[in-house]
Amino acid sequence: MTFGIEQVRGLQARSPPKTLYHYTTQEGLLGIVRTGELWATNVQYMNDIGEFFLAVEIAVERLRMHRFAPGLSINRLSAILVQQLERVKEAPICAVSFCVDPDLLSQWRGYAGSPGSICLGFRSEALGSSAASISGALAACVYGREEQVKIIDEMIGLAVEDVRQLKNHNEDRITALATNFIEQLFSCGALFKDKGFHEEAEWRLISGVQAHLGKYGYRVGKSTLVPYLKFGLRGARWDGEIQSATVGPCPHPDDALRAVRGLFAKHGIMGDVSLSNVPYRYW
């Protein structure tokens, strides 16, 4: 029996709140409302790529320290994992970030370069269904080394148990289990964050490892094209997937508020639209 991210207890310890919030630009707002899709960025092109490879570093360290019970197949699994992990250079996982707070100063600051930024509130159940459609997951980010190490150790234990259940301990079967472990490690990497950011309480919608094959789109980034995947959120029409919108600090808040309400009405979105209460001014 092989394991997946849904079987890693450390990643499933928390249930999401009913609503999760995504901060975006005006362009992002229009794209989401018109298409019913979220664009998930490849994690190699996100700001915290160093944190992604933290999971790989921890895994290599723990595998080298791990004292496995005697068994040629288990020792071989460990050797293959260390060898493959040290060569890892690509991260075939895409992610969309969410917050538990719809009106957070640090998030508005992050989008201050785009006047009239918006925070959209999504029904978590709809996000989870969208993730499942491409073998992904909706999960909370993991902050702090101790908790991250526990999760990696749990994954190692599951992989070792898979080896023990093998009836045919040939090289191909062991290599397949090693590949499966690495794919799940990519998912962990997309959720590992430095403890200095724990106040963000970030959640992420992440894709399955195989979901990217032949399906990447490309958008313009600051210095390079950025690959992304599409997460579909709705069917033929909006039906409660978007629950709210908060208009961020801007020079003309009343005009911005009316425009977003008009956009929601045009597309049949019943969510509440309000203004940010954060006294932040950048213009």
One DSSP character per residue, 211-232 reads GGTTT-EEEE-SSSEEEEEEEE
> Which parts of 166-282 fold into alpha helices (H)?
171-189, 253-266
Side-chain half-sphere CA neighbours of 66 within 13 A: 26
Among 235, 182, 246, which residue's Cα sits nearest to residue 19?
Answer: 246
- Give the model's pLDDT for residue 3: 40
Residue with tokens 């403890």: 195
pTM listed for this prediction:
0.88
Q: pLDDT tens track of the chain, all 283 residues? A: 344 555 576 676 678 999 999 999 999 999 999 999 999 998 888 876 666 788 888 988 888 876 665 565 677 778 888 887 876 667 678 999 999 999 999 899 887 666 779 999 999 999 999 988 878 889 999 988 899 999 999 988 888 888 888 776 677 888 888 888 888 888 888 898 888 888 888 999 998 876 666 688 999 988 899 999 999 999 899 999 999 999 999 999 999 999 999 999 999 999 999 999 999 887 7
- Give the model's pLDDT for residue 39: 94
- Give the model's pLDDT for residue 205: 94
d(CA 72, CA 129): 41
- Give the model's pLDDT for residue 12: 63
CB neighbourhood size of 55 (10 A) = 26
Residue with tokens 């394991």: 3
Would strands 142-143 and 94-98 be described as parallel, antiparallel, or unpaired?
Answer: unpaired
Query: 95 in helix, strand or coil?
Result: strand
